[in-house]
Amino acid sequence: MSETIQTLLQENRTFPPSEAFKAQANANDAKIYETAAADPEGFWESWARQLDWFEPWHTVCDFKPPYAQWFVGGKINAAYNCIDRHANSTRSDKPAIIWEGEPGDSRTITYGEMLDEVSRLANALKSLGVGKGDRVSIYMPMVPELAFTMLACARIGAAHSVVFGGFSAESLEERTNDAQCKVIVTADGGWRRGHIVPLKATVDEAMDLGCPSVTNILVLKRSGQEGEITNGLPTPKYNEGSWVEGRDIWWHDIVPQQSTDCPCESMDSEDLLFILYTSGSTGKPKGITHTTGGYLTGTFATSKLVFDLKDNDIHFCTADCGWVTGHSYVVYGPMANGATVLMYEGAPDAPDKDRFWRIVEKHKATILYTAPTAIRAFMKWGIQYPDGCDMSSLRLLGSVGEPINPEAWMWYHEVIGKGRCPVVDTWWQTETGSIMISALPGITPTKPGSATQPFPGISVSVYSESGSSVEVTGPDQLHKATGGFLVLTKPWPSMTRGIFNDPARFQKTYWSRFENAYFAGDGVKLDEDGYLWLLGRVDDIMLVAGHNISTMEVESALVDHPSVAEAAVIGKTHEVKGQAIAAFVILRHGHENHPTLVDELKKHVAHKIGALARPDDIFISAELPKTRSGKIMRRLLRDVAEGRALGDTTTLADPNVVSALKDKYESSES
Ligand code: WT7
């Protein structure tokens, strides 16, 4: 990459951990980095030993790129580690899940109760013919039964494939067929922004499209049928779908009557725990696989150190279990630690824009883990919402999903954390299984916008196009500022074991760009303190007049302007410069567009970054096209800016947003 990128976006604020936080932290000695770097296998083995194994491993790691095996020969069960070992000891009466539904209903489930619930469900799945080595599709709202189902599968040795409840029938059908699932577990419906998401009806549509491997559909009654009163509220109208006798079974008809005795299958460390499909921007979704021993070790260790997880914490991760964040930091990581997780079903603005803060206040959450896209929405909505709630229980804040702009980081730190709570920006992927880059809150001074350092035992390098590298091994090394491709050069326990049934695509996507190194697909910049600054996907790097400029850096500069809430930047084909910068901007609450604003914003970017980053076009918009996981689809914005017909919009949360945007953009041009 060019020199330009190295000089962009200067950020000099640093926030060292407070003495008080440090004194109580699970990790507060920087030696952990040296110890882990000197012997990564020994480091990971020390974490694996803190799990309960039925039989020990004979080999810690066997790595034949692109595949690694961890704790080879060991026998273990993930559900045993997430439930039984807590239920059978001092944590039997400790809440495992505190849950809040969108309509305001709430439940608390202890580890003891969860053992019974999951065992009954596991027996029910067995009665439907599900056993070790089978696969189960899960298409459910964020209710405790979603976590129960994941763990019931793990208990009997079946792999789960959770499909986010916002995905379409086609998506569910495609994923169910790819994984050859025997059973789909769903609910009649789930609540989202005051409406019912008709899950069972969508499963019926998927079945009509054809899922020949599926023999049964297990249906939890969550929302109730039309006109029924559930949770004190009459149920609005929705498409009920059709009930197929013999195929479709109500949960309440077979689960409660099962025995609570269901021994855990002894699984090989390398047996499949789950498949999770990632909806790449093009092509068929990739079935990312994770196995048992290594995945659990990675999520267990990172939960304990990155979130500083303690027995008295209330861990609120706002991600849905349809995403890897929900797998690793709602279910497996926290529960392997015997923690209490706070789980919320619905939207952050239902019934009002203070919902998250009300939840934090009511349940006294101590840890909050959410995404930059949500944080920027909160900024847009205004501080009156968080300021109306008592959030003094919070002690740590986390961010995940995309680079967090320094301004959003500062807002999170000041408005939500009141300057008291360390902010951990955590970089990782569905493929990595657990957090790879993050501050350790009792050790690492943070810088707003930087994910800081690789987790102990993780080897990150920054490669140039040609593959020459700068290695990042620890905080005390000095590095020359440089930018390039993020690669992981050593295996780690929770790394994916490949794409389900597609080894060639796995090799090509991640392991062909550089020899024997995992290519993550993200751009990254290393500063003079050895801190990592994620720059987004490499296809989000623009080439403007021969200079590499990250869309994210221009976005951060825009969001830095007092009137801007959110910005999406793309490179638009340009005759002379190769690419010109075009920006789509949403204004903050209380700010209006005015005749000189666009010019002011262009100047602001030029001032913050340099004239070469000055956008050619800025378009003020009310909304941006986002995927269901909240990622801005820049590909579609490129189509809009370049006047092309819109490409595939099926992965968008709301396809209407982009077509309306296109119309307005085109009429503003003429
Ligand atoms: C991609 C992975 C990891 C759980 C959620 C997303 C981006 C993720 C960060 C971060 C900058 C980030 C990367 C990565 N990303 N976290 N803290 N800073 N970028 O999982 O859907 O597999 O997406 O999300 O581009 O490659 P995913």
**pLDDT tens figures, 495-513:** 999 999 999 999 998 999 8
Nearest to 439 by CA among 14, 5, 12: 14
Residue 86 has pLDDT above 70, yes or no: yes
Q: Which atom of ligand 1 is nearest to the CA of 437?
A: 17
How far, rounded to the nearest angstrom, does the alpha carbon of residue 657 sit from its chain's CA centroid?
Answer: 23
Does residue 651 line the site of ligand 1, with CB under 6 A?
no
Nearest atom in ligand 1 to 536's CA: 25
Which whole number is the average pLDDT over 144-150?
98
Q: Name the closest-CA residue to atom 18, ligand 1.
A: 403
> Ligand 1: does its nearest atom lie under 6 Å from the Cβ of 409?
no
Tokens 């899960």 correspond to what residue? 138
Query: Strand 423-425 relative to strand 396-399: parallel, antiparallel, unpaired?
Result: parallel
CA distance 318 to 325: 9
The Cβ of residue 576 has, within 10 Å, a number of other Cβ atoms equal to: 6
Q: What per-residue string of b and e applies to 619-654 under the rule 16 or more CB within 10 Å gives b? A: bbbeebbbebbbbbbbbbbbbbbeeeebeebebbee
Given the CA of residue 431, which atom of ligand 1 is nearest to it?
A: 22
Helix, strand, coil percentages (3-state) for the chain, rounded to 5, are: 30, 25, 45
| Helical packing angle, 655-669 and 634-641, nearest 10° | 30
Q: How confident is the model at residue 32 (pLDDT cuts 50, 70, 90)?
A: very high
Q: Ligand 1 centroid vs 261 CA: distance in angstroms?
A: 39
Q: Check residue 227 and give its pLDDT.
A: 53
CA of 435 to the centre of ligand 1 (A): 10
The confidence band for 525, taking pLDDT boundaries of 50, 70 and 90, is confident
Nearest residue CA, atom 27 of ligand 1? 429
Looking at per-residue pLDDT, the higher value among 235 and 190 belongs to: 190
Residue 483's H or E segment, with its range, is strand 482-488
What local confidence, expressed as pLDDT, does residue 476 receive?
A: 34
pLDDT at residue 7 in the model? 39
Return the residue whose CA atom lies nearest to atom 8 of ligand 1.
401
- 631 alpha carbon – ligand 1 mean position (Å): 10
Q: Give per-residue burial for 473-494: e unless 16+ CB within 10 Å, then b.
A: bbbeeebeebbbbbbbbbbbbb
Number of H helices, E strands in the chain: 23, 32
Distance 340 CA to ligand 1 centre (A): 25
Look at residue 11 and tell me whether its pLDDT is greater than 70.
no
Given a cut of 60, whether residue 477 has pLDDT beyond it is no
User: What are the backbone dihedrals phi and psi of residue 196, each rounded to the nearest 5 degrees, phi first?
Assistant: -95, 130
Residue 351: closest CA among 100, 17, 25 = 100
Distance 602 CA to ligand 1 centre (A): 28
Q: How far is the CA of 160 from the centre of ligand 1 (A)?
A: 22
pLDDT in tens, 363-394: 999 999 999 889 988 998 999 999 999 999 99
Tokens found for residue 423: 């902010």
Residue 515 pLDDT exceeds 80: yes
Mean pLDDT of 336-358: 97
Indicate if ligand 1 lies below 6 Å from the C-beta of 534: yes
Residue 326 tokens read as 């929900």
Question: Residue of the nearest CA to atom 11 in ligand 1?
Answer: 403
**Helix H or strand E segment including 207:** helix 199-210
pLDDT band at 29 (very low <50, low <70, confident <90, very high): very high
Q: Which tokens belong to 450?
A: 């930087």
Whether the per-residue pLDDT at 282 is higher than 80: the answer is no
Lowest mean pLDDT among 234-243, 256-265, 423-432, 609-618: 234-243
Q: What is the mean pLDDT of residues 179-206?
A: 93
C-alpha of residue 78 to centroid of ligand 1, in Å: 25
Enter the tokens of residue 495. 């790394």
Contact 443, 17 (CB under 8 A): yes
Examine the pLDDT at 37 and tell me if it is beyond 90: yes
Per-residue pLDDT at 161 exceeds 90: yes
Residue 497 has what pLDDT? 98
Mean pLDDT confidence for 2-8: 39
Q: Is 223 in the pocket of ligand 1 (CB under 6 A)?
A: no
What is the mean predicted confidence (pLDDT) over 260-287? 87
Between 572 and 215, name the one with better pLDDT. Answer: 215
CB-ligand 1 contact for 400 (6 Å cutoff): yes
> Which of 3.40.50.12780, 3.30.70.360, 2.40.37.10, 3.10.20.30 is the CATH number of 78-91+110-265?
3.40.50.12780
The pLDDT value recorded for residue 438 is 98
Residue 419: count other Cβ atoms within 10 Å of its Cβ.
10
Q: Which atom of ligand 1 is nearest to the CA of 404?
A: 18
In b/e form, how buried is each residue of 501-517, taking b as 16+ CB within 10 angstroms? eeeeebeebbbebbeeb
Taking residues 161-166, report their average pLDDT. 92
Mean pLDDT of the chain: 90
Question: Which residue puts its alpha carbon closest to atom 19 of ligand 1?
Answer: 402
CA distance 158 to 260: 18
Q: Cα torsion for 225, 231, 234, 239, to the nearest 10°?
A: -30
User: In the predicted model, is pLDDT for residue 312 greater than 70?
Assistant: yes
Which amino acid does the sequence have at 394?
L
- pLDDT level of residue 547 (50, 70, 90 thresholds): low
232-255 per-position pLDDT tens digit: 655 555 555 688 999 999 999 999
Highest mean pLDDT: which range of 129-143, 169-183, 523-537, 640-654: 129-143
Residue 479 corresponds to which tokens in the numbers above?
Answer: 């590095």
CATH number of 541-669: 3.30.300.30
Higher-scoring residue by pLDDT: 12, 640 = 640
Q: Assign 252 to helix, strand or coil.
A: helix
Nearest-atom index, ligand 1, CA of 629: 21
With a cut of 80, say whether residue 469 has pLDDT above it: no
Task: Determine the pLDDT at residue 184.
Answer: 98
Mutate to test the pocket of ligand 1, among 402, 438, 446 (most ligand atoms within 8 A of CB): 402
Please determine, for residue 519, whether its predicted confidence score (pLDDT) is greater than 80: yes
What residue's CA is closest to ligand 1, atom 10? Answer: 427
- Which one of 534, 632, 651 would you pick to mutate in the ligand 1 pocket, going by the greatest count of ligand atoms within 8 A of its CB? 534
Has this prediction a pTM greater than 0.75?
yes
For the cut 50, the answer to whether the pLDDT of residue 479 exceeds it is: no
Write the CB contacts of 537 (distance below 8 Å, at least 6 apart in sequence).
Answer: 521, 522, 523
pLDDT reported for residue 6: 38
Closest CA to 84 of 343, 335, 340: 335
Q: Whose CA is nearest to atom 2 of ligand 1?
A: 429
What's the rounded mean pLDDT across residues 421-440?
97
What is the number of other CB atoms lying within 10 angstroms of the CB of residue 306? 26
Ligand 1 proximity of 426 Cβ (cutoff 6 Å): yes
**What's the CA angle centered on 622, arms 636 and 639, to 5 degrees?**
15
Domain range annotation of the chain: 78-91+110-265, 541-669
Distance in angstroms (rounded) separating the CA atoms of residues 265 and 286: 28
Going from the Cα of 552 to the center of ligand 1, the distance in angstroms, rounded, reads 13
Cβ of 317 less than 6 Å from ligand 1: no
Q: Is the CB of 541 under 6 A from ligand 1?
A: no
Given a cut of 70, is residue 473 above it in pLDDT?
no
For residue 270, which of 9, 63, 40, 83 has the smallest C-alpha distance? 63
Contact 249, 219 (CB under 8 A): yes
* pLDDT value of residue 480: 38
Specify the 3-state DSSP secondary structure of 183. Answer: strand
